[in-house]
């Protein structure tokens, strides 16, 4: 039987989601916990591969087992067993061919920019000292919706079949002393959101113009886009699936 796990994590202590040969990952910690509690070797597949230091407010993973899982009990045991920076929210049964990565039809990210120095959010947001022209950044963010090929924001030498992404939302909102950038798409390239935010900050501080965004995207050249902002401000906030993958029981 196949099950989905819904979880969240603080990514500070982890070298990303995916298993690494010489570094601790969220996937490894979760696989070890499941294997111990179920008494069998369990492999999990996640909805995405967040980079080192990136957080997830919502992410899903699937695993297979021959056992009939008492879902509420497994959630309780996992939360008791796992470290405090990983939280399990739900476990539910899905169809045998349901896939946590390939069946997701949208993913949403949040990037938090701190507009004032704050001693208590240095590990949750990115402090930008310069004054930002938020209106220009909002205008530039809208340009993203007019394009599909985002190779210019992708980490170089990434093994992908296409650089096309369908961005459905991209907007800024001021929340108290922070500027929040939210973006939703069917898929994202490696390092894409952090490169987009770095480019938008360059526009906000006046290094480049709003209209330069068109040429940057058309160039398909990572060197033309802005810097990659730090990982601690980035959160995977939502992953959406069709209801048809679930099994009622």
Predicted local distance difference test score (pLDDT) of residue 70: 92
Among 51, 133, 212, 248, the active-site one is 51
Predicted local distance difference test score (pLDDT) of residue 179: 97
Tens digits of residue pLDDT in 14-51? 999 998 888 999 999 999 999 999 999 999 999 988 89
Catalytic residue at 133? no
Tens digits of residue pLDDT in 213-237? 999 999 999 999 999 999 999 999 9
Verdict on whether the full-model pTM lies above 0.85: yes
Tens digits of residue pLDDT in 162-184? 999 999 999 999 999 999 999 99
Tens digits of residue pLDDT in 72-124? 999 999 999 999 999 999 999 999 999 999 999 999 999 999 999 999 999 99
Over the chain, what HEC string results? Answer: CEEEEEEEECHHHCCCCCCECCECCHHHHHHHHHHHHHCCCCCEEECCCCCCCCEEEEEEEEEECCCCCCHHHHHHHHHHHCCCCEEEEEEEEECCCCCCCCCCCEEEEEEEEECCCCCCCCCCCEECCCCCCHHHHHHHHHHHHHCCECHHHCCCCCCCCCCECCEEEEEEEEECCEEEEEEEECCCCCCHHHHHHHHHHHHHCCCCCCCHHHHHHHHCCHHHCCCCCCHHHEEEEEEECCHHHECCC
Query: Mean pLDDT throughout 140-154?
Result: 97
Predicted local distance difference test score (pLDDT) of residue 163: 94
Predicted local distance difference test score (pLDDT) of residue 56: 97
Residue 148 has pLDDT above 70, yes or no: yes
Residue 249 has pLDDT above 70, yes or no: no
Predicted local distance difference test score (pLDDT) of residue 248: 75
């Amino acid at each position: 039987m196949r099950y989905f796990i819904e979880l969240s994590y603080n990514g500070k202590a982890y070298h990303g989601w995916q298993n690494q040969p010489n570094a601790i990952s969220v996937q490894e910690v979760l696989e070890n916990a499941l294997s111990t509690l179920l008494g069998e070797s369990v492999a999990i597949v996640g909805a995405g591969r967040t980079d080192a230091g990136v957080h997830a407010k919502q992410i899903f993973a699937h695993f297979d087992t021959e056992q009939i899982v008492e879902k509420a009990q497994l959630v309780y045991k996992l939360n008791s067993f796992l470290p405090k920076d990983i939280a399990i929210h739900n476990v539910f049964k899905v169809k045998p061919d349901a896939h946590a990565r390939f069946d997701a039809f949208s993913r949403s990210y949040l990037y938090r920019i701190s507009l004032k120095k704050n001693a208590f959010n240095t590990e949750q947001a990115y402090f930008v000292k310069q004054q930002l022209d938020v209106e220009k950044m909002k205008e530039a963010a809208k340009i993203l919706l007019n394009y599909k090929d985002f190779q210019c924001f992708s980490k170089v030498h990434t093994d992908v079949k296409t650089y096309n992404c369908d961005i459905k939302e991209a907007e800024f909102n001021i929340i108290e002393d922070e500027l929040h950038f939210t973006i939703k798409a069917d898929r994202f390239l490696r390092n894409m959101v952090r490169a987009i935010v770095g480019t938008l900050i360059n526009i906000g501080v006046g290094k480049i113009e709003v209209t330069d965004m068109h040429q940057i995207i058309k160039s398909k050249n990572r060197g033309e886009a802005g810097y990659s902002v730090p990982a601690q401000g980035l959160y995977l906030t939502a992953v959406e699936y069709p209801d048809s993958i679930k099994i009622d029981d």
